[in-house]
Chain A
């Protein structure tokens, strides 16, 4: 594993501390200390590169500025440039998104906005703090092709990427160029990938969708519980390391709406969420507002905090591929299969996870 990505490396520590919801003097001093630990400019170059990969560069810039950390001029200016680029890219995507939403509405197609395109406006202030890549939309399964047709009318076209499997949770991506930026759109019939546990579909929402605004245009997002489910499952999707930006998304969302979330229902119907937040607290700071809402993290931390499971599609390029797939970290196993700390992990590791790996392989080979 890249030493820069380990949670306790100087770079890992900086990014984890920066991915903090609470803004108090203790949090600020922790960030300042982490900045001092980086020492050299080459460390800063790598830190900024990692921040970008974790979707944290604009947020890191804001945190460093806010806490008054003294960092070298060049890295500070690189972060400034990244913050501005993401701000402007988001603005261009927002314009494209509002045009899509208006067009889909005109055709009577209900649509929910997923992931960053919604989160940027729901929990980030300003929205440019949340980098976006694709625009993800959720529509009813029987309106998928209609929605694609609307986007084709708006000038979007297929990207030329290989089409996903027939049972994939979204259509092949569509894209067009606007403002010098390539806008890529994925139209989902399910917010969760088939490799995941569970499903979030427009016709089977746990709660009604919630309205929000993008520059004055009305949009709809998942209700609180489905949003937490989606963010949690998305954070755990197979990748080498858990993206800190994903961890920040869920902590920010749970904190921002903590008084509105039906935590009793969450605990009863989706216990993996409180367990998951408790496990995430080993990776990024737990917001004060969530104390008492979720189980306190149980020490010692599970082995491999933040270490994910590599995606099956990439596994042929890695050594020890079978080992990595069949032997993921304790932390990831507990998170993915909802095994709270303190409960035995053996049955999950020896039976449940291998069975799921076989299912994943069957999905890819057997169909």
Chain B
């Protein structure tokens, strides 16, 4: 994954908490994307400006005890992209 890319969140998706679970929910679709705490944090850090690399750095800095941050972030971004929740654009 290109760490200079910027993830653009789809504004139709909302982060909801229901029954102690976090999910990304699109009103017009029948499926929701369930997120663990790290994935929810990654989603919230997608703000049309931060690059993938900046997101990884932020999480590593604030959660130094967390292992495999890069793998988790990449995996989450792929999951979000596959479900249409984000669009990852390469910087020109």
Determine how close the nearest CB of chain B comes to the CB of A283; give it in whole angstroms: 28
- Check A163 for interface membership: any CB of B closer than 8 A: no
* Contact mask for chain B residues 1-17; partner A; CB cutoff 8 A; 1 contact, 0 none: 00000000000000010
On chain A, the residues within 8 Å of B32 by CB distance are 77, 80-81, 84
Q: Do A180 and B23 form a contact, CB below 8 Å, given A77-B34, A80-B18, A84-B16?
A: no
CB contact between A88 and one of B23, B27, B31, B34 (< 8 Å): that residue: B27
Contact (Cβ within 8 A) B27 A180: yes
Interface range, B side: 10 to 19
Determine how close the nearest CB of chain B comes to the CB of A28; give it in whole angstroms: 16
**Complexed CA–CA distance, A84 and B21 (Å):** 13
**Complexed CA–CA distance, A84 and B32 (Å):** 10
Contact (Cβ within 8 A) A83 B18: yes
On chain B, the residues within 8 Å of A85 by CB distance are 27, 30
Closest to A64 in B: B19
**Complexed CA–CA distance, A83 and B23 (Å):** 13
**Interface set, chain A 162-191, CB cutoff 8 A to B:** 179-180
Closest to B16 in A: A84
Q: Is the interface of A mostly helix, strand, loop or mixed?
A: helix
**Complexed CA–CA distance, A358 and B76 (Å):** 64
On chain B, the residues within 8 Å of A293 by CB distance are none
**Complexed CA–CA distance, A89 and B18 (Å):** 17
- Check A76 for interface membership: any CB of B closer than 8 A: yes
**Interface set, chain A 84-109, CB cutoff 8 A to B:** 84-85, 88-89
On chain B, the residues within 8 Å of A179 by CB distance are 27
Closest to B23 in A: A80
- Check A65 for interface membership: any CB of B closer than 8 A: yes
- Check B28 for interface membership: any CB of A closer than 8 A: yes
Closest to A81 in B: B32
On chain A, the residues within 8 Å of B28 by CB distance are 180
On chain B, the residues within 8 Å of A80 by CB distance are 18-19, 21, 23, 32
On chain B, the residues within 8 Å of A77 by CB distance are 21, 23, 32, 34
Determine how close the nearest CB of chain A comes to the CB of B19; give it in whole angstroms: 6
Contact (Cβ within 8 A) B16 A81: no
Determine how close the nearest CB of chain A comes to the CB of B36; give it in whole angstroms: 14
On chain A, the residues within 8 Å of B21 by CB distance are 77, 80
Contact (Cβ within 8 A) A81 B30: yes
Contact (Cβ within 8 A) A76 B19: yes
Closest to B20 in A: A65
A-B contact pairs, 13 of them (CB 8 A): A65-B19, A77-B21, A77-B32, A77-B34, A80-B19, A80-B21, A80-B23, A81-B25, A81-B31, A81-B32, A84-B16, A88-B27, A180-B27
Q: Give me the interface of B with A, judged by CB distance under 8 Å.
A: 16, 18-19, 21, 23, 25, 27-28, 30-32, 34
New A-B contacts (18) at CB < 8 Å, excluding given A76-B19, A77-B32, A81-B25: A65-B19, A77-B21, A77-B23, A77-B34, A80-B18, A80-B23, A81-B30, A81-B31, A81-B32, A83-B18, A84-B16, A84-B25, A84-B32, A85-B27, A85-B30, A88-B27, A179-B27, A180-B27
Q: Which 7 pairs, one residue from A and one from B, show the smallest C-beta to C-beta distance?
A: A88-B27, A180-B28, A81-B32, A80-B18, A84-B25, A65-B19, A80-B19
